[in-house]
Each structure stands twice: as structure tokens, then as C-alpha cells.
A and B are shown apart, each in its own frame.
Chain A
């Protein structure tokens, strides 16, 4: 049994208006990896490459030591995309019976239990579900396969706070087994606090930062001030009238005087300011 469930190494994808420029990260067993970044950063493209839905232009992409998209690897991977992968006219109650033959470890009982727990109406058709219910249906489908690796692309979009907490709780239960692993991409970064072990920050098709979540967050701080822009290095400086704010490396905090307020940075702050810096460089 390998310790790495999935590996992306120097992944390059070239599209007319977008490129992933050599990103690398891994999903070790027993780890929840959060993939964050602004819209268009490449989160979904990276996930699609990991699932073998698109062919990369370069690099190495593996799950369970097998090439991306290999059917043996997909049989061990639960997948939650931003929309349910089911026809609108299918009834929720029949979805399990339709796809069960493809999964040797499928549990219909677990599927039904999860639908009930997540309050997904079983007699409705997939097309009649709200966006949030569709995500919950995808999660129930993914977990009924008894996967080792769970990949979620923007699972919180369209969900109310109570449902987001329910999903986070289910992911934590899934992670009770130390052989499991999760990759969750999101732009609602607050939900990663207390859930993710590692963070990968994607900005403009590149990995802007990655590492254990607490280390990534603790190496940055937010600075706020008024008047002239600071001479010290600030990442993604933003102005609002006289006020300015930006992200700094914690090691640079000594360069600022008492007139500048220095706070802890959140994941959101890191994503926003690294994104702003990237946009400035691109301009």
C-alpha cells in the first residue's frame, strides 16, 4: 500500500486563454488537502487532469500509482463535481441501481442512509433538485462506493451553512480511517480551517504556496495603514482612499513601524493578495 494516494508533478495544461504552468502537489494517505485559489486559478482543471478527464500537455499525474483516469484507480475514488453527473430525468432513488454494477464495493444501504442524512428527496428527479441537493446527492453517491480517495470540486457552492457543516462532518468521519485521503477545492476558504491538513494555493495556473495549513497561514500576516504606500515588501497591495492593506511574509514584519497594524492572515487574505500580486505581474 503506497503512502501517496494521488500525485501531480509538473502538470502542464495549455488552453487558448488559460494555462497550468507546471503545478505539483500530492495527496498522502490520512490527509485532507485543500486546493484554494481565485476563480480561473486552475483548480477545476487540475482536478479534471487528476481524474483523466483531460489529457495534460506535460507532467505526471497518477492516482494509486496508476495513470490518471485508469479504471482501477477510479474504482477506488469518490468524486463530487460541481454538478451531479446524472441525467435530469433519473430519479434519485434509481441512481444507485444504475451505477452500482460499476463499483465492486457499492453499498445501496449506505447510499440510502446518506441520502436520508443529507435530506435529499429520494423520489424527486435529479433535474428537480436544488444545486445544494445535487451536491449532496453526488457526495452520497461518492461515499456509497466505499472509496479510499475522495475528490471534491467546490462542494460548498450553493449550500447553506448548516449543510456545509454537515458535509464537513461527513468528510471528518471519512477521514477516521487513516488510509483515506481527500482533495477538496473551494473558494469558501473558511470551511478549510479545522478540516484541511495541507493547503495548496493556486494562482494564475501556478502553485503560489503549499504546505501544512498552519504553516502556510502562519508564514503570512496582514498589514494595514494609511497614507503613503510602505517601502517594505507587501504582496498584493490594495488601496481604498487613503487606506491601504496588503499581505506580508511574517519575517518582514519588523520592517514596519508602529503606525502600521499587523494582524494574522486568513486563508482568504492569502488567496486574495497572492491573486492580486499575480494580476499585477500579468498586467
Chain B
């Protein structure tokens, strides 16, 4: 039933204009910014924005009630939606990688595989953290009451980056990160991402079970 719900969920919101525009944004970043890997990071960023989209659709279409009367457990709804969002992220990340490679070819540049791996690890870590923050909120209180959470992770990251730059902490941080072996950094990012997604699903399931639909 989890796979059935994930398919149902993707079918409900993946083909919408908003979703296509966010994927287009990833392509534009890949074309416009000459820094390799930025499109991949953008894929994580737009996924954090897209996490709220299915919940908005639920409220517009009264789908919360539908999920309540469908013969699926609430846990299956949560895990199915989480998988659907991960599928969206993977689509965005594959698109971003393709755009990055094509643009590098067009510009006659070489892209170091390490850069791509670090970008993917950073995007995965960001996705894990944002889903752990957003999914429990949206599953518990829905889009209308939780909509500020849609932008909170991106704003917090942007704010921290600005703060690090303003206080001169950015350069030491970059130096410290440069000292970490590539494999450890990539593994750490992916582990953080997977852990965040798992925590999101477990906490959201507990909260969603108690919600009146």
C-alpha cells in the first residue's frame, strides 16, 4: 500500500505547473551560474520548497479526508508521501547533474567528480534536515497553519550563511571543511540526509495518527 500511495501522491502533484517551474529553476541555475554543483544544491533547495506543495493540494482538494477513508494506514500515507518527495528530489538531482555536465561540456570545462559528489552530499544533508523539520509540522497541522515552515529551512540556511560571512567565520569554516577527507564528507552528507528522512517519517507518523481529519 505504501508504493500504491506514493504513486497516487506523485500522480496528484508531480505534473503540476508549480512542480515543473521548480525543476525549470534547477535548469536555469545550472545554465546561469558558472560554479559547478550549484544546480545540484539548488535541487535540494527546491525540494525543501516543494515539501509543502502536496499538503497545499490536500487542503484545496479535501484530500486529507480521502486519505482518512482510504483503506491505508496513516503510516503508509506518511511513508508513501515521503517516498514521493524523495522521488521528486531524485528527479531534480538527476536533472541538475545532467545540466551541470552538459553546461561544462558546452563551456569546454572539466568537472571534478569530487565537486559533484560534495554537492550531492550537501543537497542530501539539506534535504534530510528540511524534511525532518517540515514533514512532522505539515502532517500534524496541515499547510494553512504550517505554511511558514515551507520557507523556514531555506531562510535559516541563507541567514546562517550571511551571518558566517558577516562575522568572518566563513573562511575558517571552509578551511575546516577542506581538512575533512572527501569520502567522509560525502558519506556524512548522505547519512545525515537518510537519517533526516527516516526521523521525519517516524515523527510525522506518530503525529499524523493523532490528527483529526
Contacts and interface: CB of A to CB of B under 8 A. Distances in A.
Interface of A: 48, 51-55, 69, 71-75, 77, 79, 81, 83-90, 98-99, 101-103
B62 A85 contact: yes
Contact of A74 (B7, B60, B62, B70): B70
A102 B71 contact: yes
A252 B70 CA distance: 49
A88 B72 contact: no
Interface in B52-82: 57, 60-63, 65-66, 68-73, 76
Given A71-B1, A98-B11, A53 B71 contact: no
A15 B63 CA distance: 23
Nearest to A71: B71
Interface residues of B, number: 24
A85 B63 contact: yes
A102 B68 contact: no
Contacts of A86: 61-63, 66
B213 interface: yes
Given A71-B1, A102-B71, A53 B57 contact: no
Q: Which 3 A-B pairs have the closest CB atoms?
A: A87-B61, A75-B71, A85-B66
Nearest to B5: A102
A24 B8 CA distance: 37
Contacts of B144: none
B1 A53 contact: no
A83 B47 CA distance: 32
A85 B65 contact: yes
Contact of B68 (A51, A73, A98): A51
Given A102-B1, A102-B4, A71 B68 contact: no
Contact of B60 (A52, A53, A87): A87
Nearest to A54: B212
Nearest to B67: A85
B210 interface: yes
Contacts of B66: 85-86, 99
Nearest to B72: A71
Interface string B94-138: 000000000000000000000000000000000000000000000
B12 interface: yes
Given A87-B60, A88-B60, A102-B1, A74 B65 contact: no
Contacts of B213: 53-54
Contacts of A74: 69-71
Contact of B65 (A53, A71, A102): A53
B68 A69 contact: yes
B80 to A, nearest CB: 11
B71 A72 contact: yes
A74 to B, nearest CB: 4
Contacts of A53: 65, 68-69, 212-213
